[in-house]
């Protein structure tokens, strides 16, 4: 069993839709939960991260963590064609700036006009 | 302010050869990590360098080695290349002790034929 599981999709939605992306994990030691966006031929870009359980909102993006279920989500409101990318969940062992990141497989998202 | 710079962007090597990939971290960052991303997969942690020492290593064979220089730049070396080493190699830098997370480069696409 992988430490972090993520449905690879692909996911295709119309512009303006609400998108839900999810990951499950097995390692209880994870304390930080990150979401990266990766455009084609580019490296991952950090969207946001949360610490422990709860919600965090940043513009159209909301991250949720449920540590009791070992389940995290990223919601995108009013999705735009520019949101089309691969979304990766990632969890560091240690802080957010050291230690290895364990990634999910990534979910490919396409937002069509 | 330049982000993480990786060179070369693309590389084709023959099975059995050796390759060196290079990374310049973002200004102010002192920690460099390397990841391997196979097509359709999330990045896999290879190792991390801090203060010119390998601080942590993932499940990669000894054919993968690295180095960090006093100016924090880093190299990834892979010996005896296998077809399965074909992947996108990502460098990520960070400032240890901060909560700013990792910044990734755009990667080096290595093809082994």
In a mutagenesis test of the A interface, which of B102, B106, B107, B109 is the best target, namely the one with the most A β-carbons within 10 Å?
B102
Out of B40, B58, B105, name the one closest to residue A100 (CB).
B58
Residues of A with CB under 8 A from a CB of B: 4, 6, 8, 34, 36, 41-46, 49, 88, 90, 95-106
CA distances from A44 to A37, B25, B42, B51 (A): 5, 15, 10, 24
**pLDDT value at position B1?**
57
* Token pair listed for A93: 């062992």
List, for residues A43-60, the tens digit of each pLDDT value.
999 999 998 888 999 999
Out of B90, B98, B101, name the one closest to residue A46 (CB).
B101
Q: Determine contact: B24 vs chain A, CB below 8 A.
A: no
Task: Collect the ranges in chain A with pLDDT lower than 50.
Answer: none
**pLDDT level of residue B68 (50, 70, 90 thresholds):** very high
- Give yes or no for a contact between A63 and A48, defined as CB atoms under 8 angstroms apart: yes
- Give yes or no for a contact between A106 and A88, defined as CB atoms under 8 angstroms apart: yes
- Give yes or no for a contact between A78 and A85, defined as CB atoms under 8 angstroms apart: no
The distance of B98 to chain A (nearest Cα, Å) reads 6
CB–CB contact A43 B55 (8 Å): no
CB–CB contact B94 A42 (8 Å): no
Sign of CA dihedral A92, B85, B88, B21: positive
């Amino acid at each position: 069993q992988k430490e972090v599981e993520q449905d690879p999709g692909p996911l295709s939605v119309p512009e303006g839709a609400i998108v839900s992306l999810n990951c499950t994990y097995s390692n209880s030691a994870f304390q930080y939960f990150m979401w990266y966006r990766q455009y084609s031929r580019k490296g991952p870009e950090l969207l946001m991260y949360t610490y422990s359980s709860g919600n965090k909102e940043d513009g159209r993006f909301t991250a949720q963590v449920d540590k009791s279920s070992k389940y995290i989500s990223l919601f995108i409101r009013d999705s735009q064609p520019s949101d089309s990318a691969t979304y990766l969940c990632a969890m560091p062992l240690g802080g957010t700036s050291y230690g290895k990141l364990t990634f999910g497989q990534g979910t490919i998202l396409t937002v069509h006009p | 302010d330049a982000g993480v710079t990786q060179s070369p962007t693309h590389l084709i090597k023959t099975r059995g050869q050796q390759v060196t990939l290079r990374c310049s971290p973002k200004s102010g960052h002192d920690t460099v990590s390397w990841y391997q991303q196979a097509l359709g997969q999330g990045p896999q942690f290879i190792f991390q360098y801090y203060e010119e020492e390998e601080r942590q290593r993932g499940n990669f064979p000894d054919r993968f080695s690295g180095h960090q220089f006093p100016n924090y730049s880093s190299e990834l070396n892979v010996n005896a290349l296998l077809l399965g080493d074909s992947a996108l190699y990502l460098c990520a830098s960070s400032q240890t002790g901060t909560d700013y997370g990792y910044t990734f480069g755009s990667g080096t696409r290595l093809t082994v034929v």
